């Protein structure tokens, strides 16, 4: 725990002024007109915080959260498009998919054996919810759902105020000496939540902005060279 942590809001404003609203979580049905390789500047549905709306859009975010684990969104998105072609972004349909067909559809996102299992597990869980918003604890009990995936689902699929921490978040804040590099997930998450207003759009944008920022300055070692955030802390 550092004292510099009050800088969390300053950093948010700085990132927002640099990159603007990110429009996360991307949906296949709302592909932006300006997608980029870095994941995208104003690429999806910027400043629209009402998505996802429909049941299958919520489900699509959940599938994407599993598919993008330790994989670029570019590849996860390809897998989602393949599933869409199979008309399988619908829980009942996906459960009926033959495992080999499912695997071939998501192969591009890697870890096809685990992820095919995880997708069906989370789908069964999703159906059992019957429209109810799951608790964080419930989500974590689903095989294949860890801290980050649970928070991603809650924040971006269900619009719950759960801050999402990922490897980039730690990489950036540790490099800036704002936190120790062995800080635990829940500690870093709580650090953000206790220093930000409990506001879903802010949580959504902040995580997305950190990812965009990391792709520009923390993609490869040495990390953080010429990071403009160093000028404001």
Q: From CA 229, how far away is CA 132, in angstroms rounded? A: 40
Count other Cβ atoms within 10 Å, centred on residue 176: 18
DSSP state of 142: S
Residues of the shown chain interacting with DNA in the complex, contacts defined by CB under 7 A = 24-26, 37, 39, 64-65, 68-75, 107-108, 110-115, 142-150, 152, 156, 166-168, 182, 184, 211, 214-215, 218-221
Q: CB-wise, 4 or 18, nearer to DNA?
A: 18
Considering the complex, state which of residue 187 and residue 199 has its C-beta at the smaller distance from DNA.
187
Q: What is the DSSP annotation of 33-78?
A: S---TTS-TT-S-TT--S---SHHHHHHHHHHHHHTTTS-HHHHHH
Residue 143: CB minimum distance to DNA, A: 5
Q: Rounded to the nearest whole angstrom, what is the least distance from the CB of residue 64 to DNA in the complex?
A: 7
What is the closest distance, in whole angstroms, from the C-beta atom of residue 55 to DNA in the complex? 19
We find the least distance from the C-beta atom of residue 160 to DNA, in angstroms, to be 15
Of 64 and 91, the one with the shorter C-beta distance to DNA is 64
In the complex, minimum distance from the CB of residue 43 to DNA, in angstroms, rounded to a whole number:
9
Which C-beta is closer to DNA: that of 10 or that of 141? 141
Question: In the complex with DNA, which residue's Cβ is closer, 90 or 166?
Answer: 166
For 203, the enclosing helix (H) or strand (E) is helix 200-217
The angle subtended at Cα 146 by Cα 140 and Cα 151, nearest 5°, is: 80
3-state class (DSSP) for residue 160: coil
Which residues are CB-neighbours of 77 under 8 A, at least 6 positions away?
26, 28, 64
């Amino acid at each position: 725990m550092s004292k510099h942590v009050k800088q969390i809001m300053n950093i948010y404003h700085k990132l927002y002024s640099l990159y603007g609203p990110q429009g996360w979580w991307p949906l296949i049905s709302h592909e932006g007109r300006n997608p980029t390789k870095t994941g995208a500047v104003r690429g999806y549905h910027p400043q629209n915080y009402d998505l996802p709306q429909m049941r299958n859009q919520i489900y699509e975010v959940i599938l994407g959260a599993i598919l993008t684990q330790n994989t670029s969104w570019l590849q996860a998105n390809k897998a989602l498009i393949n599933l869409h072609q199979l008309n399988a972004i619908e829980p009942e349909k996906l459960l009926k998919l033959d495992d080999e067909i499912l695997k071939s559809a998501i192969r591009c996102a890697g870890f096809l054996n685990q992820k095919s299992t995880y997708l069906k597990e989370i789908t069964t869980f999703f159906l059992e919810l019957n429209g109810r918003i799951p608790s964080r604890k419930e989500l974590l009990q689903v095989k294949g759902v860890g801290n980050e995936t649970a928070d991603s689902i809650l924040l971006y699929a269900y619009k719950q105020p759960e801050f999402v921490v990922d490897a980039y978040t730690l990489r950036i804040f540790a490099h800036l000496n704002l936190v120790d590099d062995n800080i635990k997930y829940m500690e870093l998450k709580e650090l953000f939540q206790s220093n930000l207003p409990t506001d879903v759009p802010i949580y959504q944008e902040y995580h997305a902005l950190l990812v965009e920022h990391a792709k520009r300055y923390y993609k490869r070692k040495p990390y953080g060279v010429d990071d403009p955030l160093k000028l404001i802390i």
